[in-house]
Structure 1
Amino acid sequence: MDFASEEALQQWAKATVAPKLQAGDVLLLDGDLGAGKTSLTKGLAAGLGIAGPIKSPTFTIVREYTDGRLPLYHMDIYRLENGGAEDLGLEEYFEGDGVCVVEWPEFLGVCLPADYVLIQIEKDDNDDDLRHLKVSGQGKRAQALAAALQA
Structure 2
Amino acid sequence: MTIKGQAVFTIRNEQETAWLAERIAKLIKPGAVLALDGDLGAGKTTFSQKFAKAIGVNDVVNSPTFTIIKEYEGASMPFYHMDVYRLSLEEAYDLGLDDYFYGSGVTIVEWASLIEELLPPERLEMYIAHEGGEERNIRITGIGEPYASWCGALDEMGAGK
Q: TM-score, normalised by structure 1?
A: 0.91
Count of residues in correspondence between the two structures: 148
Select which of 77, 80, 91 maps to 2:98. Answer: 91
Q: How far apart, in 2, do the equivalents of 1:81 and 1:2 lie?
A: 32
Distance 2:88 2:153 in 1: 32
1:70 aligned partner: 77
| CA distance in 1: counterparts of 2:124 and 2:116, whole angstroms | 16
Across the aligned residues of Structure 1 and Structure 2, the Cα RMSD in angstroms comes to: 1.4
User: Sequence identity, in percent?
Assistant: 37
Unaligned 5+ runs, structure 2:
1-8, 157-161
State the structure with bigger RCO (CA 8 A, min sep 6), 1 or 2: 2
Partner of residue 13, structure 1: 21
Tell me how far 1:149 sits from its aligned partner.
Answer: 2.1
Q: What residue number does 1:54 align with? A: 61
Please state whether the residue corresponding to 1:93 is helix, strand or coil.
Answer: helix
Q: Which runs of 4+ in 1 moved over 4 A?
A: none
The partner residue of 1:3 within 8, 11, 14 is 11
The one-letter code of the counterpart of 2:104 is D
The one-letter code matched in structure 2 to 1:61 is I
Q: Which structure has more strand as a fraction of its residues?
A: 2
- C-alpha contact 2:89 2:115 (8 A) present in aligned 1: no
